[in-house]
């Protein structure tokens, strides 16, 4: 478990991370979402021990990580622009990481390279941006650390590769208890990957929740009521986060279980009723609007 | 810590990314050592084979060995310094440059490697990148030298000693560069930081010395300026040159001499290494790409640069403006502001940042002003300082001009030493002694215990200085004032071992000066410290020594075996000598002891023991030839007027004035054959080459020491005269102000 407590970091006069506290549970995919400049990279760089926090603590399985090689054995950090040695190829990088991470599995690495059609003898400088990210991910996965910290790593990966990586994540999580931590500015990229999401904004955490919890507790409903009286009955005592009306078509985002919502609308007279699935984006819009933020501006621009 | 690999494996892994630096190091050192050795050896070999270029086979072989020691040893030229610096910079930047790169930092700092282990691996490899090619190159160079038969004990010792010296110098520069990298955020600033740190000590010394020299009047640079160098950067070239020379002559004392310096270099390198490591460990990762890694040190660096730069500029402006304080202050304020702006721009890499951190800029300006004022007003009373008499153990005094050379015998070749040879333009010369300055000689050999006289002289100098300070600096100094003033350099040796030096200007017209100088110059202690034979008797027995007596016209050689006896006679006669005597009497000749230079012992008519000894050896001739032996005198008057051009008059060491340029030929020549006229003219002449050191105080005095440069005299001796003067007929000049009227009239130029 990675425990981040009151973590603070400023660069000169700019506070990049301001007293954030997040707990990243083991064996789950943690998504760290935020706009550019929200502090995602800074958090990850502190988690992996590159940066020293000004205040607060980062503990990996209870051990402080900064300047602690033992704690870093459990982490592999893939930076937003991963560095590869000049003139290096995949073999060179494998050689380096094999010497650094005791559990690095070279055989598995070369198998993955074949599967992803990455030439181990080709200079990495001639790889495309996506190929470099794949290589970095494969190196990270094959290091077999407990935590894999990915900073914008999935940005730019094509869907096939994403699916491939997702499968490897699933396998590693099942077999080796891997806990990927993925930072991204793009909600849609994390939707199919993450179990838990933390939303960063202006250096602070807006929310941190399990995706399933969020999905099961927020429902979107479209309906046409027979009468206005029916509408008032349905709305009464419901925790409506958002309500829209276009003509007679009403759309509600409601904080409640699916069963509760269906039961409530069954009790009133409706001409049309449908419970719609919510995207991660919509969940975030709803959740953050509640706390006074316009998520469209924060995440979607 | 590499979790699965040993230290050597980690070094090997690290070296995979340092191949090009290895290549550069190997190539550079192969060229520098075996390459240059081969070129030198083959050149000497081809010259030696082609003829008698080196004189003999022995000289040829010595030349080979000497050159091998030079090429493989300390290599006394700038090439090695430049190569060591460039290699240290390249190796440090390549090894630790990742601290300036965020991408690399993200990789290196996130992997489970202990920072101290990473530092150790990179540092060890950095040293090996220089050291292993160096050793291989030396070995190869020695093999080449051996092929030419040029390997000797001196060559091997030179190689071993230079290995240690070069290693410490390399480590010093490497550590300094790593420190510069750790303190800065990009490579350009790291290079600037290295340059700054390299010259910092010497730069601050230079600034304060310049201020002292300009603002204070009694600063004395004459005596030994030996001090612990503030920059090994500069010390290396000088020290290695001296060691190379020393090794050729005195192998036995060599280790003792170089050890303290090498230990100092090693300590400096170690301190820098520790500092570099600490800064490396504490360096925040976010400083990559910034100017300064530790913002807390920036104000100190800025203040140091701004203050020293402003003081230096102000001092220069003060001198250029002929000591105009207002302009100097403007220069100080302006340069402080300019340096502050430039530094802020460099630090922020933004021209708009020029006016940032005004507090530190203001502080720097204030500090510069305070320091400038301290020097300008001589707040600590430097110029008026005279040590208390009971604290002075002894003194050394050097007065006015010089006609003496000094040297010391320090290089008596040891039994096991290679013959000492220097190579200059392919020629070989032996120098068993080395020249020293009069000040160094006095410092080591003159111990005056009459402190009262020296203090009185100092008080005179301070009083004159105070008097001059009250007058406008721009006032012109009269010719008489200029001619009558002398600079006196004084070294006080204090009881506590401290040495204090001062330089005073004294006015020789001051009636009390003569008494003071009599006490100093007339003392045996002064004589023994001024004339070499007392303290350095080897100069009288030196195999290369030649002994002469000259009356200014005729020089006769005396057997070297007579040197000690002659000196004893002269030393006894010198009991009569003091300032008053010297300033009122003409020398009748001088004894010259020639070896590395010339020692001149004055002889006066009253030096009966000396003259008797010289006469016995047939070496003595009177100052003037017999007038009856002179057939005619040819007097040439250049009719040069002093106001024609100040540039055209030069004062020689012997205080004779000479005309170096005349723009219009006004020369008039007159031949005198009348015995009476010849007698009158001969009464006014004196040999040009005899020193008149103390005879120029008063132009109105008949014994005024200057010669009149307008006139030259050529003597034609009678045919039947067998007289040595005949060989030097034009050695006399007419004394200034004593030209006979008829000569002046006869030789006057008419338009």
Per-residue pLDDT tens for B441-476? 898 999 999 999 999 999 999 998 887 765 555 555
Q: Which DSSP symbol is given to B471?
A: S
d(CA A209, CA A196): 6
Domain that holds residue B106: 7-293
Buried b / exposed e across A169-191, counting CB within 10 Å, b at 16+?
beebbeeeebbbbbbbbebebbe
Confidence at B401, pLDDT banded by 50, 70, 90? low
Residues B76 and B209 in one domain: yes
Q: In angstroms, how far is CA A24 from the centroid of its own chain?
A: 11
User: What does the pLDDT read at residue B49?
Assistant: 63
Q: Which two tokens stand for residue B45?
A: 């070999």
pLDDT digits (tens, 9 = 90+) for B159-172: 888 899 999 999 99
At residue B19, does pLDDT exceed 80?
A: yes
Q: Compute the distance between CA of residue B175 and CA of residue B233 in angstroms, rounded to an integer.
A: 13
The lowest-confidence range among A37-51, A69-83, A202-216 is: A202-216
Annotated domain spans of chain A: 2-202, 214-300
Domain boundary among B478, B499, B529: B529
Q: What is the pLDDT of residue B75?
A: 65
Residue A64 has pLDDT above 90, yes or no: yes
Q: Which residues in chain B have their CB less than 8 angstroms from residue A63's CB?
A: none
Alpha helices by DSSP H, listed for B553-594, are: 563-573, 579-584
Rounded-to-5 percentages of helix, strand, coil across chain A: 40, 30, 30
Task: Tell me the average pLDDT across B534-560.
Answer: 87
Among the candidates B238, B262, B293, a domain finishes at B293
- The residues that bridge with B592 in the sheet, in sequence order, are B548, B600
Residues B105 and B131 in one domain: yes
Residue at token pair 């419970």: A275
| Residue B64 to residue B41: CA distance in whole angstroms | 7
Return the residue of B nearest to A41 by Cα. B106
Mean of the per-residue pLDDT values of chain B: 84
Q: Is the pLDDT of residue B646 over 60?
A: no
Cα–Cα distance between B501 and B313 in angstroms, integer?
27
Q: Taking 80 as the threshold, does the pLDDT of residue B440 lie above it?
A: yes
Distance CA B8, CA B307 (A): 48
Whether B64 and B186 share a structural domain: yes
The alpha carbon of residue A98 is apart from the nearest alpha carbon of chain B, in Å, by 8
Interval B575-600 mean pLDDT: 89
A160 touching chain B per CB within 8 A: no
Task: Assess whether B598 and B636 both reside in one domain.
Answer: no
Q: Are B207 and B304 in contact (CB under 8 A)?
A: no
Least trusted range by pLDDT, from A144-148, B247-251, B282-286: B247-251
| Alpha carbon distance A14, A8 (integer Å) | 11
Q: Are residues B593 and B695 in the same domain?
A: no
Q: How many structural domains is chain B composed of?
A: 4
Coil, helix or strand for B42? helix
Residues of B with CB under 8 A from a CB of A: 1-5, 9-10, 13, 16-17, 101, 103-107, 109-115, 284-286
Question: Taking 90 as the threshold, does the pLDDT of residue B629 lie above it?
Answer: no
Whether A95 has its CB under 8 Å from any CB of chain B: the answer is yes
Q: Over 70: is that where the pLDDT of A299 sits? A: no
CA-based torsion, B191, B195, B196, B198: positive or negative: positive
Q: Which of B2, B17, B110 sits opposite A48 (nearest CB)?
A: B110
Instruction: Give the gap in angstroms from C-alpha B238 to the nearest C-alpha of chain A.
Output: 41
pLDDT at B59 over 80: no
Instruction: Return the pLDDT at B663.
Output: 57
Q: Does A275 touch chain B (CB under 8 A)?
A: no
CB B443, CB B397: distance < 8 Å: no
Most confident stretch, A133-147, A181-195, B36-50: A133-147
- Of all helices (H) and strands (E), which one includes residue B485? strand B485-494
Q: Are residues B52 and B120 in the same domain?
A: yes
User: What pLDDT shows up at residue B224?
Assistant: 63
C-alpha B615 chain-centroid distance: 42
Shared domain check, B704 and B740? yes
Exposure b/e, B38-52, CB count within 10 A at least 16 = b: bebbeebbeebeeee
Residues in chain A: 301
The answer to whether residues B669 and B705 belong to one domain is: yes
Question: Which of A265-269, A282-286, B113-117, B722-726 is modeled with the greatest confidence?
Answer: B113-117
Element (H, E) at B278: helix B254-282
Q: Model confidence over B77-122: pLDDT tens digits?
A: 678 888 999 999 999 999 999 999 999 999 999 999 999 999 999 9
Say yes or no to pLDDT of B699 above 50. Answer: yes
Q: Look at residue B648 in the predicted model and tell me its pLDDT.
A: 45
Residue B1 lies in a domain: no
pLDDT for res B653? 38
Residue B405: is its pLDDT beyond 70? yes
pLDDT for B158 equals 85
Tally of CA atoms within 13 A in the half-sphere of A6 that contains its CB: 3
Q: How confident is the model at residue A240 (pLDDT cuts 50, 70, 90)?
A: confident
Regarding whether B263 and B139 lie in a shared domain, the answer is: yes
Evaluate whether residue B700 is within a structural domain: yes
With CB atoms and an 8 Å threshold, state whether B109 touches A81: no
Please tell me the distance in Å from A238's CA to the nearest CA on chain B.
49
What does the pLDDT read at residue A93? 95
Facing residue for B9 by CB, picked from A49, A69, A99? A99
Indicate whether B370 belongs to any domain. no
Is B73 in the same domain as B23? Answer: yes
| CA pair distance A51, A68, nearest whole angstrom | 12
Where residue B316 falls among pLDDT bands split at 50, 70, 90? very high
Q: What is the DSSP letter of B184?
A: B
Select, from the ranges B3-7, B233-237, B404-408, B546-550, the one with the highest average predicted confidence (pLDDT). B546-550
Q: What is the mean pLDDT of residues B287-299?
A: 88
**Quick check: do A2-202 and A214-300 share a fold?**
no
Question: Around Cβ B524, how many Cβ atoms within 10 Å?
Answer: 11
Indicate if the alpha-carbon torsion angle B146, B152, B155, B160 is positive or negative. positive
Contacts of B109 in chain A (CB under 8 A): 48-50
Measured from the Cβ of residue A226, the count of other Cβ atoms closer than 10 Å reads 13
In a domain, B702, yes or no: yes
Question: Of residues B221 and B703, which shows the higher confidence score?
Answer: B221
Q: Which of A51, A85, A102 has its CB closest to that of B17?
A: A85
Query: CB of A51 within 8 Å of any CB in chain B?
Result: yes
Assign domain A2-202 to its CATH superfamily.
Answer: P-loop containing nucleotide triphosphate hydrolases (3.40.50.300)
> Is the Cβ–Cβ distance between A99 and A83 less than 8 Å?
no
Mean per-residue pLDDT, A170-188: 87
C-alpha to C-alpha distance for B431 and B440, rounded to whole angstroms: 19
Q: Would you say residue B413 has pLDDT above 50?
A: no
Name the pLDDT band for B426 (thresholds 50, 70, 90).
very low
Nearest to A49 among B2, B5, B110 (CB): B110
Residue A81 DSSP SS3: coil
CA B14 remoteness from chain centre: 47
Which chain A positions have a beta carbon within 8 Å of B4's beta carbon?
A: 98-99, 102
What is residue B110's predicted lDDT score, i.e. its pLDDT? 94
Question: Out of B1, B106, B113, whose CB is closest to A79?
Answer: B106
Residues B569 and B683 in one domain: no
Nearest to A50 among B5, B101, B110 (CB): B110
Picking from A83, A94, A145 by the largest number of B CB atoms within 10 A of its own CB, the best residue to mutate is: A83
Assigned CATH class of A214-300:
alpha beta
From A152's Cα to the closest Cα of chain B, the distance in A is 14
Of the two residues B403 and B310, the one the predictor is more confident about is B310
Check residue B415 and give its pLDDT: 40
Most confident of A35-44, A231-240, B87-96: B87-96
A77–B10: do the CB atoms touch at under 8 Å? Answer: no
Kindly report, residue by residue over B176-205, the tens digit of the pLDDT.
999 999 999 888 889 999 988 888 888 999
Are B708 and B583 within one domain?
A: no
Whether the per-residue pLDDT at A136 is higher than 70: the answer is: yes
The three-state secondary structure class of A9 is strand
Domain boundary among B514, B529, B544: B529
- Say if B312 falls within a structural domain: no
Confidence (pLDDT) at B171:
95
**Which two three-digit tokens encode residue B308?**
């020293």
Measured in angstroms, the CA of B67 and the nearest CA of chain A are apart by: 43
Average pLDDT on A48-76 reads 93
* Residue entry with tokens 């010595």: B62
The end-to-end CA distance of chain B, in Å, is: 98
- Tally of CB atoms within 10 A around B85: 18
């Amino acid at each position: 478990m990675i425990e981040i407590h009151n973590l603070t970091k400023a660069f000169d006069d700019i506070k990049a991370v301001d007293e954030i506290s997040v707990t990243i549970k083991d064996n789950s995919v943690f998504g760290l979402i935020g706009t550019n400049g929200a502090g995602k990279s800074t958090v990850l760089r502190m988690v992996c021990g590159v940066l020293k926090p000004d205040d607060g603590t980062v503990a990996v399985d209870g051990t402080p990580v900064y300047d602690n090689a033992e704690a870093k054995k459990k982490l592999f950090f893939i930076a937003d622009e991963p560095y590869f040695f000049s003139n290096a190829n995949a073999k060179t990088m494998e050689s380096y990481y094999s010497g650094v991470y005791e559990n690095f599995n070279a055989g598995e690495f070369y198998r993955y390279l074949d599967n992803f059609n990455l030439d181990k003898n080709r200079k990495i400088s001639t790889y495309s941006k996506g190929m470099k990210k794949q290589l970095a991910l494969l190196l990270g996965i094959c290091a077999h650390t407990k935590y894999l910290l990915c900073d914008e790593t999935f940005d730019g990966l094509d869907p096939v590769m994403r699916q491939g990586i997702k499968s490897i994540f699933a396998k590693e999580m099942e077999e080796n208890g891997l806990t990927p931590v993925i930072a991204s500015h793009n909600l849609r990229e994390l939707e199919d990957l993450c179990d838990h999401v933390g939303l960063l904004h202006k250096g602070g955490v807006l929310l941190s929740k399990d995706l399933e919890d969020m999905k099961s507790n927020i429902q979107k409903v479209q309906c046409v009521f027979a009468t206005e009286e029916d509408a008032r009955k349905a709305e009464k005592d419901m925790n409506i986060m958002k309500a829209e009306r276009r003509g007679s078509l009403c759309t509600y985002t409601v904080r409640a279980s699916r069963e509760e919502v269906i039961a409530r609308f069954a009790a009133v007279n409706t001409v049309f009723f449908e419970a719609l699935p919510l995207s991660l984006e919509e969940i975030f819009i709803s959740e953050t609007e509640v706390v006074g933020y316009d998520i469209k501006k924060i995440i979607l621009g | 810590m590499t979790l699965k690999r040993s230290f050597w494996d980690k070094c090997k892994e690290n070296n995979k990314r340092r191949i090009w630096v290895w290549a550069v190091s190997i190539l550079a050192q192969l060229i520098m050592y075996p390459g240059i050795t081969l070129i030198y050896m083959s050149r000497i070999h081809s010259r030696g084979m082609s003829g008698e270029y080196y004189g003999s086979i022995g000289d040829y072989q010595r030349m080979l060995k000497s050159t091998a020691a030079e090429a493989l040893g300390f290599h006394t030229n700038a090439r090695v310094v430049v190569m060591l610096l460039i290699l240290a910079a390249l190796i440090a930047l390549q090894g630790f440059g990742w601290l300036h790169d965020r991408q690399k930092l993200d990789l290196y700092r996130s992997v489970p490697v202990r920072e101290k282990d990473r530092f150790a691996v990179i540092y060890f490899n950095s040293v090996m990148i220089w050291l292993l090619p160096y050793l291989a190159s030396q070995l190869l160079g020695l093999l080449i030298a051996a092929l030419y038969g040029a390997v000797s004990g001196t060559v091997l010792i030179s190689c071993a000693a230079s290995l240690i010296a070069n290693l410490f110098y390399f480590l010093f520069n490497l550590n300094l560069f790593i420190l510069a990298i750790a303190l800065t955020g990009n490579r350009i600033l790291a290079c600037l930081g290295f340059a700054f740190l390299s010259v910092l000590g010497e730069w601050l010394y230079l600034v304060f010395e310049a201020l002292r020299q300009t603002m204070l009047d009694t600063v004395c640079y004459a005596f030994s300026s030996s001090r612990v160098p503030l920059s090994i950067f500069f010390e290396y070239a000088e020290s290695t040159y001296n060691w190379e020379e020393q090794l050729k002559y005195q192998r036995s004392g060599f280790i003792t001499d170089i050890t303290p310096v090498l230990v100092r270099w090693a300590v400096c390198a170690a301190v820098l290494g520790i500092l570099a490591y600490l800064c490396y460990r504490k360096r925040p990762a976010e400083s990559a790409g910034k100017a300064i890694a530790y913002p807390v040190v920036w104000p100190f660096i800025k203040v140091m640069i701004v203050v020293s730069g402003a003081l230096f500029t102000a001092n220069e402006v003060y001198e250029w403006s002929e000591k105009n304080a207002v302009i100097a202050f403007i220069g100080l304020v302006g340069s402080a502001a300019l340096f502050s702006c430039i530094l802020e721009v460099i630090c922020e890499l933004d021209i708009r940042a020029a006016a940032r951190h005004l507090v530190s800029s203001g502080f720097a300006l204030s500090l510069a002003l305070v320091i400038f004022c301290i020097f300008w007003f001589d707040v600590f009373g430097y110029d008026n300082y005279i040590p208390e008499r009971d604290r002075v153990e002894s003194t050394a005094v050097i007065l006015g001009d010089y006609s003496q050379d000094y040297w010391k015998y320090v290089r008596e070749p040891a039994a096991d030493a290679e013959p000492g040879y220097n190579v200059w333009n392919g020629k070989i010369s032996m120098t068993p002694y080395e020249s020293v300055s009069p000040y160094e000689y006095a410092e080591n050999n003159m111990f005056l215990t009459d402190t009262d006289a020296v203090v009185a002289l100092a008080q005179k100098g301070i009083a004159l200085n105070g008097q001059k300070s009250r007058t406008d600096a721009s006032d012109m100094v009269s010719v008489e004032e200029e001619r009558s003033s002398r600079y006196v350099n004084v070294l006080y040796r204090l009881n506590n071992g401290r040495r204090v030096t001062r330089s005073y200007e004294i006015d020789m017209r001051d009636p009390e000066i003569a008494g003071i100088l009599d006490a100093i110059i007339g003392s045996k202690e002064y004589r023994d410290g001024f004339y070499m034979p007392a303290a350095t008797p080897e100069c009288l027995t030196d195999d290369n020594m030649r002994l002469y007596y000259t009356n200014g016209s005729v020089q006769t050689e005396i057997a070297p075996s007579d040197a000690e006896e002659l000196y004893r006679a002269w030393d006894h006669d010198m009991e009569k000598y003091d300032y008053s005597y010297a300033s009122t009497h003409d020398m009748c000749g001088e004894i010259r002891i020639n070896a590395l230079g010339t020692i001149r012992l004055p002889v006066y008519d009253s030096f009966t023991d000396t003259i008797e000894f010289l006469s016995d050896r047939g070496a003595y001739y009177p100052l003037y030839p017999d007038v009856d032996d002179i057939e005619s005198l040819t007097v040439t008057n250049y009719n040069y007027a002093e106001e024609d051009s100040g540039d055209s008059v030069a004062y020689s060491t012997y205080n004779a004035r000479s005309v170096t340029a005349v723009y219009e030929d006004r020369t008039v020549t007159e031949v005198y054959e009348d015995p009476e006229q010849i007698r009158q003219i001969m009464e006014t002449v004196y040999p040009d080459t005899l020193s008149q050191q103390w005879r120029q105080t008063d132009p109105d005095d008949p014994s005024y020491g200057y010669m009149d440069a307008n006139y030259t005299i050529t003597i034609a001796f009678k045919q039947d005269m067998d007289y040595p003067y005949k060989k030097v007929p034009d050695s006399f000049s007419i004394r200034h102000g004593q030209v006979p009227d008829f000569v002046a009239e006869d030789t006057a130029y008419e338009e």
